Amino acid sequence: MPHPDITIPAVPADLAAPRGHYSHAVRAAGLVFVAGELPVTADGQLLNDASFEEQARQVLANVRAALHAAGSSVDKLLQVRVYVTDIDQWPAFNALYADWCGDARPARIVVPVPKLHYGFQLEIEATALA
Give pTM, 2 decimals: 0.95
Please report, in tens digits, the pLDDT of each residue of the chain (130 residues total): 678 888 888 898 999 999 999 999 999 999 999 999 999 999 999 999 999 999 999 999 999 999 999 999 999 999 999 999 999 999 999 999 999 999 999 999 999 999 999 999 999 999 999 9
CATH (domain of 118): 3.30.1330.40
Which amino acid appears at position 40 of this protein? V
Strand order across the 107-112 sheet = 6-7, 25-28, 31-37, 122-129, 77-84, 107-112
Closest CA to 83 of 127, 46, 121: 121
Q: What total of structural domains would you count in the chain? A: 1
* Host domain of residue 110: 6-129
